[in-house]
Amino acid sequence: MLTKPLVILLFIGIIVFTLFCIYRLRNRLLKSQLELAELKTHIKDKSIGTPDSNQYESKSKVASAAKTRYLSGISHELRTPLNVIMGYAQLLEKQATCDDPNKDKYALMRHNCAHLNHLIEGILEFSAIEAGKLKVQLEAIDLHDLINQVTTMFDHQAVQKGLIFSSYIDPKLPKTVKTDHKRLQQILMNLLSNAIKFTESGQLEFNITYRNQVATFSITDSGRGIETNDLTRIFQPFERIEQPNKPIKGTGLGLPITRLLVDLLGGELKVESEVNRGSVFTVKLMLAPLAGMSNNQFEFNNRYSEIETIDQQQGASHTILVVDDVKSHRDLLTEILKTHQFKISTAASAIEAQDSVNQQSFSLAIIDVSMPEINGWQLATWFKSHSPKTKIMMLSANPRDVEASSDKPYDAYLTKPIKINQLMSDISHLLELGWKQSNQTNIQANNNNKIMLPDEHRSALINMLDIGHINGIESYLKKLIEQQVINEPQHQQLSQPIKAMNLTAFKEMIKYEH
């Protein structure tokens, strides 16, 4: 088994490798963009329908398809080592005691892996939208709940930066609408994040008005503003407005992705700006109200935010088959699952998996999508006909693999890098297992250690808890001690379950009956 120092050194190596790959990926994407632009210019210069124009158009399509394949492939190559490092970082962090001096280092490893994964996802997502491969997932959502979650998150971030944050929601705004929850949330978060990033002092306003079934989201800041000749450039990929003597973090894909997502939802994005006065970004979306939907249909699903343990007796009664052609991935999943007493069998290929099924039955098969010869989708389909009682969980380094499978021969789908709490929560759901609260932080959820907080602070913490905003909770607790709402012992008591990722204990600690 890897020693802790070796794991940390390996992590550093992976970080360097990943940053190098992202740099190459960025250059490759920029080159592809230029090639496509040149081809499109040639097409416009030619008469429509001529052999030359058809030839250029064909080349343009080939170049676009090649770029998409390249990005998809490099995404898989980057996520493969990230999955292993992030997985073991989570295991080490979870197994470490509160007084372990390396515990914070494991958390740092996990956070940085998540950040790198976010950068990779941004580049891949931009390419997918541009190629028309990203589909809208329309569903009935609680619009007020979504706005409240986003507002709570960025209100705190603005306050931490010394900004005045205000928001307004039109009373006519319907509670229930049909749209893509993930994409709408992503649009608002991108715009609010940018507003805070580029505003050093002053205020930030987030206003939502509603008229004739059109919702207008306005984000107004008092930042440095944008030059007129830059208003178009900011929506180009990898373009960033640099501030003198102050480097700006990010890939330069936030606004291009936001505009493409707004277009995808059939909306409109506009920007008005004045140098040294600030900017206003406005999004207009058609959001017709839905009637007859009960509130309990929109309860936020926070089961992924809790790290708990499965009752060992229940875990021992199930055998799980792990199918992945990469040995390090099989080893990682085996180690994770064995901590919950599951019986584990592994297979390096679909053929090995089929042989195993012919010899014994399995409660669950965890299958990697990308495998040689017989891929994961084909194996999952085989399972449905040869072992129909076996639950199927698919794993992939490409989050858009799931969209390519219309028949869905699986019961759950996770993307790499694996998040252990999400993995275990899905397994619990599929196998109908009972959970017991983790005693990792030795915190009992009883009246003796409940901490009484004013309603406004308790609600803010619970809202951040429900969306898994750990950094926000940690910052908010620091704010509470600075304002003398809580004392140092209470701060330490509240911080313990957060550092240990035991969010169930934290929620019980701040929850009380009036």
pLDDT computed for residue 231 by the predictor: 74
The CATH number, out of the four listed (3.40.50.11720, 3.20.20.105, 3.50.50.60, 3.30.565.10), of the domain defined by the range 139-294: 3.30.565.10
pLDDT computed for residue 419 by the predictor: 80
Domain boundaries, the chain: 4-130, 139-294, 303-428, 447-510
The CA distance from 461 to 468, in Å, is 10
Residue 386 has a CB neighbour count (10 Å cut-off) of 11
Secondary structure class of 374 (helix, strand, coil): coil
Cα atoms found within 13 Å of the Cα of residue 361, Cβ hemisphere only: 8
What are 167's strand-pairing partners? 206
Class at the top of the CATH hierarchy for domain 4-130: mainly alpha
139-294 and 303-428 share one fold: no
Secondary structure class of 436 (helix, strand, coil): strand
The CA distance from 94 to 502, in Å, is 9
pLDDT computed for residue 1 by the predictor: 47
Q: At what angle do helices 181-197 and 143-160 cross, to 10 degrees?
A: 20
Structure tokens at 401: 């693999």
- CA distances in angstroms from 305 to 448, 466, 502, 507, listed in the order given: 24, 7, 9, 11
Structure tokens at 143: 């619009």
- CA distances in angstroms from 469 to 153, 159, 249, 474, 476, listed in the order given: 8, 16, 20, 9, 11
Per-residue pLDDT of the chain (514 residues; tens, 9 = 90+): 445 565 566 556 656 666 666 666 566 555 555 555 555 555 555 545 555 555 655 655 666 566 566 666 666 667 777 777 778 877 887 777 777 777 777 777 776 777 677 667 766 666 666 666 677 788 888 999 889 888 887 887 788 888 899 999 999 999 999 999 888 988 998 899 888 888 888 999 999 999 999 999 999 999 888 887 777 777 776 666 665 555 555 556 678 888 888 988 889 999 998 888 889 999 999 998 886 554 444 443 343 334 445 555 666 789 999 999 988 889 889 988 888 889 999 999 999 999 999 999 999 999 999 888 899 999 999 999 999 999 999 998 776 666 444 567 888 888 887 888 778 888 888 888 765 544 443 333 344 457 888 877 887 887 777 655 676 788 888 888 877 888 887 888 888 777 766 677 788 788 654 4
Q: Please list, in sequence order, all residues whose beta carbon lies within 8 angstroms of the beta carbon of residue 165, skipping any fewer than 6 positions away.
A: 154, 155, 158, 159, 203, 204, 205, 206
Structure tokens at 382: 């085989």
CA 321 to chain centre: 27
pLDDT computed for residue 514 by the predictor: 42
Secondary structure class of 414 (helix, strand, coil): strand
Sheet holding 203-211, edge to edge: 164-169, 203-211, 214-221, 278-286, 268-274
Beta-strand relationship, 435-436 and 319-323: unpaired
Residue 78 has a CB neighbour count (10 Å cut-off) of 23
Handedness of CA 312, 318, 319, 322 (dihedral sign): negative
pLDDT computed for residue 206 by the predictor: 94
At the second CATH level, the architecture of 303-428 is 3-Layer(aba) Sandwich (3.40)
**Residue 353, H or E segment:** helix 350-359
- Specify burial of residue 75 (Cβ count, 10 A radius: 0-12, 13-18, 19+): buried
Q: Are 430 and 316 in contact (CB under 8 A)?
A: no
pLDDT computed for residue 214 by the predictor: 93
Q: Are 436 and 404 in contact (CB under 8 A)?
A: no
Q: Could you give the angle at the alpha carbon of 304 between the alpha carbons of 301 and 306, nearest 5°?
A: 110
Residue whose pair of structure tokens reads 């507003």 in the numeric block: 195
